[in-house]
Amino acid sequence: MTAIATVTPTLAHLPALYRCMARIRAFENAAEVLSQGGVSAYNKTADGSAKVRGPLHLSTGQEAVPAGVCAHLTPGDYLTSTHRGHGHTLAKGADLGRMMSELYGKATGFNGGKGGSMHIADFSVGMLGANGVVAAGLPIAVGAAHAQKLQGRPDITVCFFGDGAINRGPFLESLNWACVHQLPVLFVCEDNRWSATTASGPMVAGPGAAARAASLGLQAVQVDGNDVMAVFQQAGELVHQIRSGGGPRLLHAHTYRVKGHVSVDMAAYRDPAELEAALKTDPMRRAREAFAAAGGEAAQLDRIQAEADAEVAQSMRDADAAPWPDPAAAYTDIQTTGEGQWF
């Protein structure tokens, strides 16, 4: 997504922000359907019918956070993601078609079909990669930001992580290092209230990510993560402060994970009333309401949604037609071929 210079949200910003969210939602909806029958888990059995094999961690319902944050980034800025990283990847400007091909396991995917959903990266737009290990993106982001500072570059690094990550060691280690060296990094906690299949609230001592950051002297701001305009404004202010040499900042975005932990998880452990209440705060619904209240025409957003749906449908056709990786590719891009003796 092209960086937007101003940090004051106006009606003019909403279509671009909505387009980003619509592309993410359309991609996630398609990916969810494509993965059914692709894994044996949660009382389901893989039957060989799935286009996408294995479970996917969907970001449905969390679209406002990457859209609002990445609107302020340039291709030169870095981004690290999580296992739930489709939205971050698209918002940073990575090619939607290549990401779909990666999910299909095709040679035209970002990782040649070998990485899948949790390992997508596109260095050409500064997307340093999704990560299957909780909190593992934090030290990578800090290292990238430290390199930017040492090289005297004007760019920054954005690190997305979930509420479950704040209970792991790399969270405090990374925030400490960023504060000590005053690094140009924006930490973004996507607090979706769930850590895999466990509610995060009972597992977290204290108020959460923002409070822990503040204890280190790191300025932190909380925001309604389902209000894309609020995210856009708060993220813009923090990004401006970082680019001006203010050191690290943290954005604690409160959102909600609409789907289960993975695409085949029906989240039977969750109270249906909780989900029903959360759906009333859907970020795309709220964006449409805000657009209408400001005098915008619904037809404009309808066209954007239709374009996003068409783009995803085309990506599926392209992925279907794309070639499978050459079997020899299994021995490339790996640390060792297994030759020699291991000690």
Q: What is the pLDDT of residues 185-232, one digit of tens each?
A: 999 999 999 999 999 999 999 999 999 999 999 999 999 999 999 999
pTM: 0.94
Question: Which region holds residue 112: left if phi is over 0, alpha if psi is between -120 and 50, else beta?
Answer: left
- Residue 28 CA to its chain's centroid (Å): 11
Confidence of residue 335 (pLDDT cuts 50, 70, 90): confident
Beta-bridge partner residues of 224: 254
Count the residues in the chain.
343
Confidence of residue 7 (pLDDT cuts 50, 70, 90): low
So where are the chain's domains? 11-39+48-279
> Which of these ranges, 43-52, 129-138, 293-302, has the smallest mean pLDDT?
43-52
Confidence at residue 95, expressed as pLDDT on a 0 to 100 scale: 97
Q: What CATH number was assigned to the domain covering residues 11-39+48-279?
A: 3.40.50.970
Between these two residues, 331 and 243, which has the higher pLDDT value?
243
SS3 117: helix
Beta-bridge partner residues of 185: 157
- Residue 256 pLDDT more than 80? yes
- Residue 15 pLDDT more than 90? yes
Tell me the pLDDT tens digit for each residue of 124-168.
999 999 999 999 999 999 999 999 999 999 999 999 999 999 999
Confidence at residue 3, expressed as pLDDT on a 0 to 100 scale: 54
Nearest-angstrom CA–CA distance, 281 and 286:
7
Beta-bridge partner residues of 161: 189
Confidence at residue 340, expressed as pLDDT on a 0 to 100 scale: 61
